Amino acid sequence: MLEKIQQTNVGNYTGTIGLGAQSALLEEMTKLDEHRSKVSLKLADELLDSVAVQAKIAHIQNYELIKRHGDVIDAIIDFKDDTRLIVIGRNGVDHRVNLNALGSHIETLVRSASQPILLISRKFKQPKSFMIAYDGRETADKALQQVIDGGLLHGLHCHLVSINNNEKNLEEKFLNAQFKLSSMGFEVSASFLEGNVFDSLMQYKEQNNIDLIVMGAFGHSKLRQFFVGSNTIKMLENNDVPVIILK
């Protein structure tokens, strides 16, 4: 994906440096922009070639390499009818120093995309377990069904976690969710927790060596506020494992 290069604005400095000098400067800036565009195109080709090599090593036969110009979010949204899952790195080369910083596009993508999103960190390993939070509401059951129907997570150890809230019959619904996953072949560890949502989930992740976190839209509960509000970004910024955001 090649984003549009912001062209340099020389401005009007004729009163300061003269018309001839400004024309020469504008010409140099134009040449510089053209050079940057050529370098970007070459880099894009090299990146695509590298991805193709990795796909062949992984014995992936069915893939398509596409080079696009423009805004990365717009380009991703354009493919919504042809994709089941968006896979994107949580940050780029600009965040090598601050590894907790999210890429500038992530929050916009999370709010805009209609497909599930898989955010991965720089050091990726094949997950053996995943954690999903459950609050007992209809949208939580929908997310649970997506996990079951999607097929991507089958074979991984499932950690089903709930934080006590005001939802009626939450414990009963939680047990039903556990049974549903187990009956579909998932190995399930179920935990009913107390306390702050963010702190409880992060502590559980660390204590149980969770490899992957699954998040979804959970109604209007405090989990809903957690998943679609500022706490979502907090979770992503302070998390070192891949995250799937269900839509």
User: Per-residue pLDDT tens for 90-149?
Assistant: 765 554 444 445 666 777 887 788 889 999 877 788 999 999 988 888 878 888 999 999
The pTM (predicted TM-score) of the whole model is: 0.76
Partners of 155 in the β-ladder: none
User: CATH 3.40.50.620 region(s) of the chain?
Assistant: 106-245
User: Per-residue pLDDT tens for 82-105?
Assistant: 888 999 887 655 544 444 456 667
DSSP H stretches of helix in the chain: 14-17, 19-57, 72-78, 106-112, 138-150, 170-183, 197-207, 222-228, 230-237
Determine the topology of domain 106-245 in CATH: Rossmann fold (3.40.50)
Residue 28 binned pLDDT confidence (cut-offs 50, 70, 90)? confident
Place of tokens 């994709």: 83
Three-state SS at 48: helix
